[in-house]
Amino acid sequence: EAKKEKPVKPDYTPAQKKRITTLLSPADDLSSIKELPTFKELETELVKKRKQDLRQMYEDDRRHQLAQLERDISLFLIEKGFMEVRTSVLIPAKFIERMGITEEDPLYKQIFRVDENTCLRPMLAPGLYNYLHNFDNIMPDPLKIFEIGTCYRKESDGKEHLEEFTMVNFCQMGSGCTKENLLNIIDDLLKYLNIDYEVISDNCMVYGDTIDIMHGDMEISSAVVGPIPQDLDWGVTKPWMGAGMGIERLLKVKHKYTNIKRSSRSISYYNGITTNLR
């Protein structure tokens, strides 16, 4: 028996390999094919399959994966007693300072600035801090809130980073803010989403010690048990805990996408399928 054939034969040009990679879906398994067809044959077949996938989505479902996962996570957290908030994406630049993000922090250079006093939020924490302060002593203890929304960061290209991505950030203030309880909520959520993970410790300039939730080599969440010094700058004086999680990364894991672009808001991919099929 001959050795197992490589998925993409060396007689495809680099541009052809790229096109084939774009057309593949995680369910395709070229490794089982002993002899690969010509580029044109393979492309035609894959284009046909992807068009069928899209048509099936149009006829059977019509929901966008990212939008649906946002809805699922929202309803899951509301059910668990967290209150849904929505704050603006355009934030005062002074919120960045108040988060303790100084010029030395790597995040500082990642921020999109719209004008001198305004930027696109790189995280949901500033809005949540405002709600923790404003709702303190109004709501029963503990106060549990969350936001799902877009965040922006300048990133050097990569398979796990988007410049526009969607974060879910939930937090609790008052009683019960222990590492154990925090890990339990994360465990419930990731079990509900059917996503395996490992817990490791990390050190982050903004929050000090963070708990990182990993899927293989990819971070899917960073979690913090407060209090931390900058709480006072937000008028937050009680213990708290919270975690931020990237929704497109969750989709990348769930659907075994090779690149996070497949799960992003995009005109190039629809539910993980390339839209370049004409």
Ligand X SMILES: Nc1ncnc2c1ncn2[C@@H]1O[C@H](COP(=O)(O)OP(=O)(O)OP(=O)(O)O)[C@@H](O)[C@H]1O
Please give the residue ranges that form the binding site for Mg ion (CB under 5 A): 222
Q: Give me the residue whose beta carbon is nearest to Mg ion.
A: 222
Q: Rounded to the nearest whole angstrom, what is the least distance from the CB of residue 84 to Mg ion in the complex? A: 23
Out of 226, 242, 246, 272, the only residue in the binding site for ligand X (CB under 6 A) is 246
Q: Of 30 and 195, which has the nearer Cβ to ligand X?
A: 195
Out of 82, 165, 197, 269, the only residue in the binding site for ligand X (CB under 6 A) is 165
What does each C-alpha distance from 241 to 96, 132, 175 come to in angstroms?
20, 11, 10
Out of 86, 116, 158, 180, the only residue in the binding site for a copy of itself (CB under 8 A) is 86
What does each C-alpha distance from 2 to 11, 30, 42, 67 come to in angstroms?
18, 16, 22, 46
How many residues bind to ligand X according to rule CB under 6 A? Answer: 17
Q: Rounded to the nearest whole angstrom, what is the least distance from the CB of residue 112 to a copy of itself in the complex? A: 6
Q: Rounded to the nearest whole angstrom, what is the least distance from the CB of residue 172 to Mg ion in the complex? A: 19
What does each C-alpha distance from 59 to 27, 52, 66, 70, 71 come to in angstroms?
20, 10, 18, 22, 21
Out of 13, 44, 88, 178, the only residue in the binding site for a copy of itself (CB under 8 A) is 88
DSSP secondary structure string for all residues of 107-168: HHHTPPEEETTEEE-S-SHHHHHHHHHHHTTTSPSSEEEEEEEEEE------SS--SEEEEE
Q: Could you say whether residue 219 binds ligand X (CB under 6 A)?
A: yes
**Residue 136 interacts with, from ligand X, Mg ion, a copy of itself, none (CB under 5-8 Å by kind):** a copy of itself
Q: Could you say whether residue 121 binds ligand X (CB under 6 A)?
A: no
Structure tokens at 60: 């059977």
Q: Could you say whether residue 230 binds ligand X (CB under 6 A)?
A: no
Structure tokens at 19: 């096109």
What does each C-alpha distance from 100 to 94, 97, 162 come to in angstroms?
10, 5, 23
Structure tokens at 10: 């060396």
Out of 84, 155, 196, 209, the only residue in the binding site for a copy of itself (CB under 8 A) is 84
Enumerate binding residues for ligand X (CB under 6 A): 123, 153, 155, 160-162, 165, 167, 219-222, 244-246, 248-249
